């Protein structure tokens, strides 16, 4: 059985999803069509072979991805019975972010490259302390986020982003 984990990136015990499996995850997430309602979480999870935690029905709803990294965690963040975003850890969580920085930086760069292979050139790059790279698609965005403790893949609904932009314009 082929490992889902990038063997070259297991330094400090930190596991990283392989580029091949990340491309497959992006492909599956972007191929699935849903209405972004909280009631569609089970169908989304089933299409991805994830298992939803039945005890969590108020945001975030947690699912077991079975990916072998990041604690096998995917979170569905909800806002008023709508899915705002789906977040999947593609690295383990670093206990010591300073020590893990080289591994996390390499994982971030590799993840961006893998998503580029699936979605083409990104539409936004945010450098800095919490860098991210984003692809704006019709109904959602896909982003790779380098957090201080892990690298995360996030799919965010256009509806949520529009509401947040409106709040910003209104000064809320």
The verdict on residue 67 lying in a domain is yes
Does a structural domain hold residue 110? Answer: yes
Per-residue confidence band for 26, with pLDDT thresholds at 50, 70 and 90: very high
What confidence tens digit (pLDDT) does each residue in 40-61 have?
Answer: 999 999 999 999 988 765 668 9
* Residue 61 included in any domain: yes
In a domain, 95, yes or no: yes
Give a yes or no: residue 156 inside a domain: yes
**37 falls within a domain:** yes
Contacts within 8 Å (CB) and 24+ apart, 35-38: 36/82, 36/83, 36/139, 36/157, 36/159, 37/81, 37/82, 37/83, 38/76, 38/78, 38/81, 38/82, 38/83
* pLDDT over 70 (residue 128): yes
Across the chain, what does the average pLDDT equal? 89
Residue 2 lies in a domain: no
Is-cis flag, bond preceding 28, omega within 30?
no
Q: How much is the pLDDT for 83?
A: 94
The domain tally of the chain equals 1
Q: Which structure tokens are listed for 107?
A: 């994982």
Is 49 within a domain?
yes
Summarised one tens digit per residue, pLDDT across range 155-168 is 999 999 999 989 98
Decide if pLDDT at 69 tops 90.
Answer: yes
Domain of 27 in residue numbering reads as 7-170
């Amino acid at each position: 059985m082929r490992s889902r984990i990038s063997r070259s990136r297991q330094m400090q015990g930190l596991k990283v999803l392989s580029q091949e499996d990340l491309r497959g995850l992006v492909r599956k997430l972007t191929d699935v069509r849903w209405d972004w309602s909280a009631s569609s979480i089970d169908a989304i999870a089933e299409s991805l072979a994830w298992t939803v935690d039945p005890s969590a029905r108020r945001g975030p709803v947690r699912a077991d991805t079975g990916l072998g990294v990041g604690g096998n965690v995917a979170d569905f963040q909800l806002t008023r019975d709508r899915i705002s975003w789906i977040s999947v850890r593609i690295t383990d969580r670093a206990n010591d972010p300073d020590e893990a920085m080289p591994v996390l930086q390499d994982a971030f760069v590799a993840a961006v490259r893998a998503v580029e292979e699936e979605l083409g050139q990104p539409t936004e790059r945010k450098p800095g302390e919490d860098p991210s790279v984003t692809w704006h698609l019709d109904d959602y965005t896909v982003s790779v986020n380098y957090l201080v403790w892990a690298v995360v893949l996030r799919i965010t609904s256009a509806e949520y982003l529009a509401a947040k932009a409106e709040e910003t314009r209104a000064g809320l």
